[in-house]
Structure 1
Amino acid sequence: MLHPRTHLTADDLRAVADLEERVVAHDGGRLKIEWDSLRARSADPGGGPTTDLLWTAPDGRGVGYVGFDSWDGRTVELVGMVDPAERGRGTGTVLLDAAVQVCRDRGFAQALLIVPRPSEAGHRLARRLGAPLEHSEHALRLDAPPAAGDEDPRTTLRTATAEDLDVLADLLADAFGHPPTHLAASFAEGDTVAVEHEGAVVGTLRRPRDGASGGIYGFAVAPMFQGRGIGRDVLRRVSREFFADGATSVRLEVAVDNDRALGLYTSVGFRRVQTEDYYDLPL
């Protein structure tokens, strides 16, 4: 039975977590479920738009799930899963059709379905809807503190403030080809970092913490300062700080065609755990 949710109960969270565990045990890799967002939705009283779709079996077990995450109100990312024992019965088709309707009802301009590269069923569902491949990313993980390396005293890290907004926005636009849409809002979380070299802001990243896992996102160094070891130095520092604070892993994502960044991350010790394809669902 399909259950649209505007609020996740404690039982819902357990059902999604149990389902994720079964799916990953069967398929390997990982699923890009934003658990910090799910827990925030659990604290929300609900009553707003649909944020999750949960499919339960007659015995109450969660056997299908789709979650919706948007950081700018325009583009939404969808991550879904179906219990391996329930596949081939049309559950995924019903979930995805319902998810597309939710995206239309909520007025999103773009919906990106995240499909793990090995998931043939996920790719078939995307193709059935005529969804083109928008881009692909490698999911990387670091499971131990990085080896010690040179630390340049001229490079410092500090929490970004509103006064950094313009320079960081320019850095991110240069790095990713489009201006950031949620940078100002991210400052409120306190996890956006300004990287300074000899007193000038030359880079930025976000370092959110989700339980036992740290994350590094939106990592950019100004082009004229690349190739000087600043990026590697910053990666080592941030990763070591996570592990010193009790994290058991650090995760990040990189576009599959960004060989330079991939080489940097793997040189620090990150390894690929999954490749994910992002399909642009027709709305």
Structure 2
Amino acid sequence: MNIACSPWLKLRETLTPEDRDQIEDLQMRCGRAEPVALKLELDYKLAAALNRPEDSAIRDVNEFLYFDGQRLAGYLGICSFGGPGMPLEATGMVAPEERRRGIFTTLYRLALAEGRRRSSAGMLVLCDRKSDAGRKFIEKIGAAYHHSEYEMVLNQAWEAPGGGKLCGVTLRKATNADAREIAEQDSVYFSDEAPESEAGPGADRPDVPSGEIRLPEEEEKKGFVIWLAERDGRSVGKVNLELGSGSGGIYGLGVKPEFRGRGFGRSILLQAVEKLKEANAKKILLQVAADNAKALNLYTSCGFCETSTMDYFKADL
């Protein structure tokens, strides 16, 4: 165990390019000691920071960095993709040579305090199933298992049989005028109370609080593009695409309940893959709930292979 020479903390609302470089360097150092997956969302966070209005009144702390001298020794970041009233997601790491000094515990306590300040509905702590260090920390804080997601990567050599059937479904880039439609679809697909669907859990919940509505044109500035799936002029589903650092991500894919069972989910997925390939994504990945057999079968049949399992643990604030 090393002894800190001159430890200090940096707490930020958003990342800077310098922060991102230091975090990526720390990630590489950790990966050499324990090759596990980390859901850091650095490209998304940096894009959000660069496109943030100068007069923004938001003062939420999302980035917690622990330095020993000039070298980054530990990092924890929090995200709030679920919007207000949803649990925050926390993930991070500590340099192998800096562990057992309480660094991550310090960062985690600061993140919990920030969650309490925001009146968030708890904290979801993310941990790769293969990470011994991560699982020991989860046991230490007593967080309860919540759910798991598989990360899947597309086999670039895979081709859809016969070019794939699109079933008359087309993708249209969403605008701010579609914001409520998108929020209502997400509430159907990703509510914890909903039954299994092609995209994930979801239940009908048409009344979406305005605070949970994100503007597609603002999200696009962060590299996160939302597409509405339409057939015969009607919206049948949606998908979110993210491009950064040569890789593309497929998220939030869903089909409305009344249109399921017609192959629309496959059509949306195949078109999403083509759009990312057209954008020169060298690697295409997605995440799917481990207990969502329908979605898992769909993605596997379209050339995606499981690469890691991310476990989510719920901690009270």
Structure 1 residues 73-82 or 40-49, which shifts more?
Answer: 40-49
User: SS in structure 2 opposite 1:174?
Assistant: helix
Deviation at 1:165, TM superposition (A): 4.8
Q: Distance in 1 between matches of 2:153 and 2:212?
A: 25
Q: Which residue of 2 aligns with 1:38?
A: 45
- Structure 1 residues 244 and 101: CA distance shift in structure 2, 3 A: same
User: SS in structure 1 opposite 2:291?
Assistant: coil
Q: Distance in 2 between matches of 1:108 and 1:4?
A: 22
Asked if residue 90 in structure 1 is aligned to residue 102 in structure 2, the reply is yes
* Among candidates 75, 86, 93, match of residue 65 of structure 1: 75
TM-score, normalization: structure 2? 0.79
Q: Distance in 1 between matches of 2:111 and 2:24?
A: 20
Structure 1 residues 128-137 or 13-22, which shifts more?
Answer: 128-137
Gaps of 5+ in 1: none
- Structure 1 residues 143 and 115: CA distance shift in structure 2, 3 A: same
Deviation at 1:5, TM superposition (A): 1.9
Q: Which residue of 2 aligns with 1:189?
A: 219
* Among candidates 8, 14, 25, match of residue 21 of structure 2: 14
Matched residue type, 1:244: E
* Among candidates 168, 180, 191, match of residue 154 of structure 1: 168
What's the CA shift string for 1:186-225, capped at 9, x where partnerless? 3543422111123322111111222312221111112343
Identity %: 33
Structure 1 residues 61-70 or 79-88, which shifts more?
Answer: 79-88
Deviation at 1:25, TM superposition (A): 3.4
What's the CA shift string for 1:220-256, capped at 9, x where partnerless? 1123433332222221221122112111112211111
User: SS in structure 2 opposite 1:207?
Assistant: strand
Determine if contact 1:155/1:230 at 8 Å carries over to the other structure. Answer: yes
Q: Distance in 2 between matches of 1:63 and 1:143?
A: 35
Determine if contact 1:126/1:281 at 8 Å carries over to the other structure. Answer: no
Determine if contact 1:77/1:114 at 8 Å carries over to the other structure. Answer: yes
Determine if contact 1:76/1:108 at 8 Å carries over to the other structure. Answer: yes
* Among candidates 248, 267, 273, match of residue 301 of structure 2: 267
Determine if contact 2:62/2:78 at 8 Å carries over to the other structure. Answer: yes
Structure 1 residues 267-276 or 167-176, which shifts more?
Answer: 167-176
Matched residue type, 2:227: V
Q: Distance in 1 between matches of 2:91 and 2:247?
A: 19
Deviation at 1:33, TM superposition (A): 0.7
Matched residue type, 1:62: L
- Structure 1 residues 160 and 146: CA distance shift in structure 2, 3 A: farther
1:40-189 matches, within 5 Å, as 40=47, 43=50, 48-58=59-69, 60-71=70-81, 72-74=83-85, 75-142=87-154, 144=156, 146-148=158-160, 149-152=163-166, 154-162=168-176, 164-165=178-179, 167-176=181-190, 177=202, 179=205, 182-189=212-219
Gaps of 5+ in 2: 1-6, 191-201
Q: Distance in 2 between matches of 1:141 and 1:134?
A: 23
Matched residue type, 2:275: E
Structure 1 residues 257-266 or 201-210, which shifts more?
Answer: 201-210
Q: Distance in 2 between matches of 1:66 and 1:170?
A: 31
- Structure 1 residues 157 and 4: CA distance shift in structure 2, 3 A: same
Q: Distance in 2 between matches of 1:265 and 1:183?
A: 28
Q: Distance in 2 between matches of 1:109 and 1:2?
A: 29
Over the aligned positions, Cα root-mean-square deviation in angstroms equals 2.6
